[in-house]
């Protein structure tokens, strides 16, 4: 029986804890007195809840990026990829693009990309007035982008 080898490389991380593996480990193992969580009543009516949010500026997209790839998830991914670009290039050179996978964890799944449409309809507008961005909500969207 031939066992295939699978490797996981160094991760690129962006979250409310910070950016990069070192900041995440530091935030988890030596938490500061200031919580990385953001408190807001915007999402649950009448209740102030804690949310993890990335509130720092993210790496801008390349100017020629197609509109279907311009989502918050992909911008977080683009920012995280900057941390591991040398490893990605080395893997591409050694194995080729068809042998490299993308693993991403997200808690929003791109749903925020369609809030303008949902708000428009809730305010009495029509469904056809604003395009629904299904591609932004597909779990394959970040992998297709990367």
Q: pLDDT band at 136, cuts 50/70/90?
A: low
Structure confidence by residue, pLDDT tens digits, 28-53 = 898 888 888 888 888 788 899 888 88
Structure confidence by residue, pLDDT tens digits, 83-135 = 999 999 999 999 998 888 877 777 665 667 777 888 888 899 988 898 887 76
| CA atoms in the 13 A half-sphere facing the CB of 135 | 13
Q: pLDDT band at 8, cuts 50/70/90?
A: confident
DSSP one-letter code for 145? H
Cα separation, 9 vs 4, in Å, equals 16
Point out the least confidently predicted range of 14-28, 63-77, 123-137: 123-137
Domain ranges of the chain: 9-56, 59-146
């Amino acid at each position: 029986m031939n066992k295939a080898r699978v490797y996981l490389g160094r991760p690129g991380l962006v979250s409310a804890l910070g950016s990069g593996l070192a900041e995440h480990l530091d935030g988890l193992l030596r938490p500061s007195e200031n919580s990385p969580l953001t408190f807001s009543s915007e999402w649950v009516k009448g209740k102030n809840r804690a949310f993890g949010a990335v509130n720092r500026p993210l790496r801008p997209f390349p100017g020629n990026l197609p509109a279907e790839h311009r989502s918050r998830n992909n911008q977080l991914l683009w920012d995280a990829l900057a941390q591991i670009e040398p490893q990605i290039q080395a893997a591409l050179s050694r194995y080729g693009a068809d042998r490299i996978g993308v693993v991403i964890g997200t808690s929003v799944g791109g749903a925020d990309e369609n809030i303008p449409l949902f708000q428009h309809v809730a305010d009495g507008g029509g469904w056809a007035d604003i395009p629904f961005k299904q591609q932004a909500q597909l779990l394959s969207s970040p992998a297709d982008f990367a």
